[in-house]
Amino acid sequence: MITKCVFPVAGYGTRFLPATKSTPKEMLPVVNKPLLHYAVEEACAAGIQDMIMVTSRGKHSIQDYFDVSYELDSHIAGTPAEKSLYSIRGLLKNCTFSYTRQNEIKGLGHAVFSARHLLDSQPFAVTLADDLCITPKNSPGILSSLQQLHQEHGCSVVALAEVDDEKVSRYGVIRGKQLSDRVWKIEDMVEKPTLKEAPSRLAVVGRYLLTSDLLELLGQTEAGRNNEIQITDALKQKAQKGEMLGYLFDGQWFDCGSVKGFVAATNHVYSNLSTD
């Protein structure tokens, strides 16, 4: 059973400036909950209890959010507004939150590596909160599906989604063999390839289930695309040894790292709220 999930939340969110000048990108609300709330909720629903945030300067509001606010609680106690806090209270009751700093902005691989002292020899999850993933109500969430595949095959697993030609250069893209309807054996991976370099249209979505040996690989990985230490480059080594699976997840993916994706997510969540 996976108990720990790493949330890299140290980035500047430059695509959302000036909104992200003093508010972390992960705290931008999609309707009434910050992006990070959805991500933690998803991990908690998959049975994960230990949430590990890799932060940087100016991210204090994340710590305050995942904490009790006595003044607010006593102010709204017994009023209809109290209902709005049920979900965050549930997360605080069921999960622990740890924080560590990524003291250099050196990429996603470096962010995950920065949390190594909070991890152990067990496999762990990594969730990128700006990828908002909505799965059908009666299906297991993505992290649960990744866990199940890990239990069956014993290797690391990433979530995949099919993207259009014009989007391949934004993501990690895989080459692999299809094992079943939704499962791929990954043979190679390229971070943000040009359309010509892209080995497929299957992109990595920000949900990873990683075996702990990945941490050592991350420590040895040189800077790659954009001069950053890319998690894709470490995973690629596992893929080339035949130790990496991909799971084409069932549901909708909103890349909230882009304004367009963020607005689409907001519209989607809102339209579902109003018909609930």
| Contact footprint for ligand G1P (CB under 6 A) | 108, 128, 131, 171-172, 191, 203-206, 230-232, 255, 257
CB of 48 to ligand G1P, least distance (A): 19
Q: How many alpha carbons fall within 13 Å on the CB side of residue 216?
A: 6
Residues 4, 52 contacting (CB under 8 angstroms): yes
CB of 222 to ligand G1P, least distance (A): 15
Residues 32, 78 contacting (CB under 8 angstroms): no
Residue with tokens 């989007």: 167
- Name the nearest CA neighbour of 206 among 5, 50, 51: 5
CB of 4 to ligand G1P, least distance (A): 20
- By beta-carbon proximity to ligand G1P, the closer residue of 88 and 256 is 256
Residues 184, 173 contacting (CB under 8 angstroms): no
What are 37's two structure tokens? Answer: 């709330």
CB of 191 to ligand G1P, least distance (A): 5
- By beta-carbon proximity to ligand G1P, the closer residue of 155 and 233 is 233
- By beta-carbon proximity to ligand G1P, the closer residue of 11 and 123 is 11
Residues 90, 40 contacting (CB under 8 angstroms): no
CB of 270 to ligand G1P, least distance (A): 22
- By beta-carbon proximity to ligand G1P, the closer residue of 49 and 169 is 169
Number of H helices, E strands in the chain: 9, 13
Residues 6+ apart with CB under 8 A from 217: 234, 237, 238
CB of 50 to ligand G1P, least distance (A): 22
Q: Buried b / exposed e across 10-27, counting CB within 10 Å, b at 16+?
A: bbebebbeeebeebbbbb
- By beta-carbon proximity to ligand G1P, the closer residue of 27 and 234 is 234
**Using CB atoms, what's the residue nearest to ligand G1P?**
172
- By beta-carbon proximity to ligand G1P, the closer residue of 27 and 111 is 111
